Amino acid sequence: MNAHNHNIPEGRRPIRQLDDAAANRIAAGEVVERPASAIKELVENALDAGASRIDVAYADGGKTLLRVTDDGHGIPADELPLALSRHATSKIDGSDLLNIHSFGFRGEALPSLGAVGRLTITSRFDGAREGARITVNGGVLGPVEPAALTKGTVVELRNLFHATPARLKFLRTDRAEAGAIADVVKRLAMAEPHVGFTLRDVSGGGEGKVKFRADPETGDMFDALQGRLRTILGPDFTANAMRIDAEREGYRLSGYAALPTYSRGAAVAQFFFVNGRPVRDKLLIGALRGAYSDFLSRDRHPAVALFVSCDPELVDVNVHPAKAEVRFREPGLARGLVVSALKHALAEAGHRASSTVADATLGAMRPQMPHAPVYQMDRPSQSALRSSYQLQQPTYEPQGFAEFPPSGRVEEVIEQDFEDLPLGAARAQLHENYIVAQTRDGMILVDAHAAHERLNYERLKSRMADNGVPAQALLIPEIVEMSPDDIARLLAAAPDLAPLGLTIEPFGGNAVCVRETPAILGEVDAAGMIRDIADELADLGQTQTVKDRIEAILSRIACHGSIRTGRRMSAPEMNALLREMEATPYSGQCNHGRPTYVELKMTDIERLFGRS
């Protein structure tokens, strides 16, 4: 025994129950990390109270003042002290935690906030003759007093963390905290498009400066959401977004997802909601990446606002104190729905590419004349751009270059018809790459190299889907040790992996045997790949790894097999390329998320020359 063992403390105190104030401060540690988390709780309370307008105000990044005003149903005066006590809520009775329809249910927010700042609630319950007010400061409750208020609730939190200097030190600059508040408000505003929101910075007193405003939207869920997204993410997002609406075994996915050509440099425009609750969920983010992996390079990020809805029993929201994470009952199903719905929408979008590309082109082509306001152009209206993308898919079969009609006469006749097709009739090739085509009402400029690369890739993939992937036997089969659960899952998935060229067999004991790997991957670390697959199966119930790796290789091959810039094409070749683009899904962007073509309408061209 160590004679210098000081681990048995002489000063040990007996176990005791902490008082409410201490318990609330501890709870606040989890729930209230920064001003933005307080705002999240208060706005959620306002939404739960059925508010139709919510006003959020803050001063000094929320450090000195946070205030949320709503027109909801209010709180009865005699319940005000209860609202401030721990685990007191009007939203659940505690009997069924798997059937939650409100944002709140833990009954922790108000007492936590009251423990780390000076909190005042003023409220007038619907039907009550007057309003009432209560204040709690550092956990000490004041009396309920009458107060003037016409409707709803005002919750004010002053000097957050002033009593806990340690927490105060962790806060960032006022600017950063204000940014986080705006982020929270916008996420909740997306979740509730029918509710109006304002966000004001009232530093220095007065009405303050409006930082964000979103008027209540009307119409059905999609219309309202689209309007709200236009306000928050901008008209470019909605003009470039695909409407998503899909359902699978009790899970529904709806919302908007932007075309790959409208991608971002960081994951800043990815918004997920589960049963109306904003979440940051690894599974959903992973599924999103999976769905777009084919169209975006690693450093580009899709922009989406997507809503998963399901029976509350199919998802556990009580797994995170701030309720930012959820746990799906059927993770594989939820992931599969997101991946397949998005891939389906991307396929439907066909050769459609981002309209902002055309906008940007127009902007760049605007005459650079000083003092020439006469030539100032409007951007093409979003609806005009939109309708131009909603042309019917042509029924043309993809053609090989060689099989194309060689006679000039036939060509002429065909070219007339080509003008009615979305990508038009090829007229010229510029700089031995760019194809200029004429459409009935405008022109198309195609990056032949990028387009060809994409078409090659799609062709390789469909060949793989038709014929399977050749397998290559390992000289020495690889024996991989793993847990019995992993082995069981891997063997269950083995029949799905075999067509991809990966052959796994039982080996007995705690191992599986890898006999063959996909030939196209060359020499692989078979054990590493098998472990990745096992992890994926455990997390998600299905695996993408092998397919992803194969597609990455196909994409590289497609790139090498493509028309190099600098190759001159004949008219039939160019037209064949345009027709194949029209008939091939995903052909509007190259494998790196860049557009393969841009379109200018006649009206756009006329505007360029000041003709309209």
* Position 40 contacts ligand ADP (CB under 6 A): no
Length of the chain: 612
Looking at beta carbons only, is 80 or 550 nearer to ligand ADP? 80
From ligand ADP, Mg ion, none, which one binds at residue 89 (CB under 5 to 8 Å depending on kind)?
Answer: ligand ADP
* Position 351 contacts ligand ADP (CB under 6 A): no
From ligand ADP, Mg ion, none, which one binds at residue 237 (CB under 5 to 8 Å depending on kind)?
Answer: none
* Position 433 contacts ligand ADP (CB under 6 A): no
Question: Are 252 and 308 a contacting pair, CB within 8 Å?
Answer: yes
Q: Of the candidates 24, 36, 39, 45, which one interacts with ligand ADP according to CB under 6 A?
A: 45
Distance CA 259, CA 594 (A): 11
Give the SS3 label for residue 224: helix
Amino acid at 300: R
- Nearest-approach distance from CB 18 to Mg ion, in angstroms: 22
Binding mask 114-153 for ligand ADP (x = CB under 6 A): ---------------------------------------x
Give the contacts of 99 (CB within 8 A, at least 6 positions apart): 312, 313
- Nearest-approach distance from CB 587 to Mg ion, in angstroms: 49
Q: Of the candidates 61, 62, 107, 196, which one interacts with ligand ADP according to CB under 6 A?
A: 107
Q: How much of the chain is helix, strand and coil, in % rounded to 5?
A: 40, 20, 40
- Which residues does residue 258 pair with via DSSP β-bridges, in sequence order? 241
Task: Select from 44-52, 302-310, 347-355, 429-437 the region that touches ligand ADP (CB under 6 A).
Answer: 44-52
Distance CA 363, CA 401 (A): 35
- Nearest-approach distance from CB 45 to ligand ADP, in angstroms: 3
Tokens of 254: 């709806």
Tokens of 373: 């306001």
Tokens of 383: 């609806």
Sign of CA dihedral 59, 63, 67, 68: positive
Distance CA 500, CA 484 (A): 24
Residues that contact ligand ADP, how many (by CB under 6 A):
21
Which residue minimizes CB distance to ligand ADP?
A: 104
Looking at beta carbons only, is 75 or 563 nearer to ligand ADP? 75
Distance CA 493, CA 100 (A): 35
* Position 41 contacts ligand ADP (CB under 6 A): yes
What strand order describes the sheet that includes 277-279?
241-248, 251-258, 304-310, 270-274, 277-279
Question: Are 255 and 305 a contacting pair, CB within 8 Å?
Answer: yes
Q: Of the candidates 35, 61, 62, 104, which one interacts with ligand ADP according to CB under 6 A?
A: 104
Tokens of 124: 């007038």
Looking at beta carbons only, is 89 or 226 nearer to ligand ADP? 89
Give the SS3 label for residue 284: helix
Give the SS3 label for residue 221: helix
Distance CA 276, CA 259 (A): 24
- Nearest-approach distance from CB 70 to ligand ADP, in angstroms: 5
Distance CA 599, CA 603 (A): 11
* Position 38 contacts ligand ADP (CB under 6 A): no
- Nearest-approach distance from CB 44 to Mg ion, in angstroms: 5
Task: Select from 98-106, 330-338, 354-362, 454-462 the region that touches ligand ADP (CB under 6 A).
Answer: 98-106
- Nearest-approach distance from CB 606 to ligand ADP, in angstroms: 54
Residues that bind Mg ion (CB under 5 A): 45, 104, 109
Residues 57-96 that bind ligand ADP (CB under 6 A): 70, 72-75, 83, 89-91
Chain positions contacting ligand ADP, by CB under 6 A: 41, 45-46, 49, 70, 72-75, 83, 89-91, 104-110, 153
